[in-house]
Amino acid sequence: MVLSMTGFGHAKIDFNGKIIRVEIKSLNARTTEIRSKLPNAFREREMDLRKKVMDALQRGKIDMTISIDGFSDEENAFINADAFKKYYKELSALRQELQIENGDILQSILRIPNVIGQSEEMVSDEEWTLIEKVVDEAINNIQKFRADEGVALEADLQERIDQIEGHLKAVEPFEAQRLDRIKERLRKNMEEFAVKQQVDQNRYEQEILYYIEKLDINEEKVRLSQHCSYFREELKTGNEQKGRKLSFIAQEIGREINTMGAKANDSDIQQYVVMMKDELEKLKEQLANIL
């Protein structure tokens, strides 16, 4: 099973005339990041809610928003009368002393910190139970979203691996021809050189074998095939967090493809190497979204 790091989930519940809404969305990221936007009354339990979401979603850039409809922080706002009176007396005295023209003192005072405050509202245990319930529901919804997207991602990854294996098989007919052409070219060059120089035939054959071994790509083909099989097996495992492991396997696949291209010395094989690299890059782009 493959899970996407991208997802969205929301839920809501009605409590005493207030509608509590929870929205959680996530994007792909190398690490786990979470940002939360909560009403002031919920701040005391913010860390608990953040931990609940992080434990469930495991990885990604996560945004959690909790809002309340039918209720706002302004309803708890109040004016600090003692502070207001104190500032008003002092400002009025200064205005008279400095002979300052009349201005809007009221608006100026209201902008002073602590003149307007908010009373703290306690959240009951019953309400916290409902809040946790609606957060759990939003988490379940985003997990379902991730799983649905993961199905499409898994199908695409399977297709990329199939394409790489198909291009690898297409290389085989050209491999034997490639070695024969190289041997024939070396033989002709040697015959031209032998006209002018005396050549040790045994040493010549040893050098040819050594050179041909350096150009042999059989080991790379075998390892590439094994890596593709391993990648496909890992896709089917029940492990939820498999994005990093699949990325490591993809790196090994890329290493074998690059080595094959460096040793190929053949235009036909190089074309298939380029096509394998193209499929691998598409695969890596999708792996960036895997949990």
Tens-place pLDDT, residues 177-192 = 776 676 666 666 666 6
Delineate the domains of the chain, giving CATH numbers in brackets: 7-74+124-146 (3.30.230), 81-114 (no CATH), 148-287 (no CATH)
Comparing C-alpha atoms, which of 219, 227, 229, 217 is closest to residue 270?
Answer: 217
Helices first, then strands: H and E counts in the chain: 8, 6
pLDDT above 70: percentage of residues in the chain: 77
Q: What is each CA distance from 19 to 15, 16, 43, 212, 272, in whole angstroms?
A: 6, 8, 18, 75, 59
For residue 116, pLDDT beyond 70: no
Sign of CA dihedral 159, 160, 164, 165: negative
According to DSSP, the β-strands at 116-118 and 60-69 are unpaired
Instruction: Return the CA Rg of the chain.
Output: 35
Comparing 101-105, 222-226, 264-268, the range with the smallest average pLDDT is 101-105
Instruction: Give the amino acid at 92.
Output: S
User: Which residue do the tokens 């024969």 mark?
Assistant: 180
Three-state SS sequence of 225-280: HHHHHHHHHHHHCCCCCCHHHHHHHHHHHHHHHHHHHHHHCCHHHHHHHHHHHHHH
For residue 119, pLDDT beyond 60: no
pLDDT score of 276: 93
Comparing C-alpha atoms, which of 287, 290, 280 is closest to residue 254?
Answer: 280
Which helix (H) or strand (E) element contains residue 35? Answer: strand 32-37
pLDDT score of 149: 92
pLDDT band at 117; cut points 50, 70, 90: low
pLDDT score of 134: 92
Comparing 181-190, 218-227, 241-250, 271-280, the range with the smallest average pLDDT is 181-190
pLDDT score of 188: 64
Q: What is each CA distance from 73 to 5, 38, 243, in whole angstroms?
A: 33, 11, 42
| Global pTM value | 0.68
For residue 227, pLDDT beyond 90: yes
- Mean pLDDT estimate for the chain: 81
Can you tell me the distance from the alpha carbon of 288 to that of 86, in angstroms, rounded to the nearest whole number? 60
Comparing 13-17, 36-40, 138-142, the range with the smallest average pLDDT is 13-17
Comparing 9-23, 113-127, 256-270, the range with the smallest average pLDDT is 113-127
* CB-based contact 57:92 (threshold 8 Å): no
Q: 110: left (phi > 0), else alpha (psi -120 to 50), else beta?
A: alpha
pLDDT score of 174: 80
* CB-based contact 41:118 (threshold 8 Å): no
Can you tell me the distance from the alpha carbon of 46 to that of 43, in angstroms, rounded to the nearest whole number? 5
Tokens at 56, concatenated: 């469930």
* CB-based contact 24:62 (threshold 8 Å): yes
pLDDT score of 184: 67
pLDDT score of 145: 93
For residue 57, pLDDT beyond 80: yes
**Of the ranges 83-92, 207-216, 221-230, which is most confident?**
221-230
Tell me the mean pLDDT in the region 251-279: 88
Can you tell me the distance from the alpha carbon of 7 to that of 146, in angstroms, rounded to the nearest whole number? 5
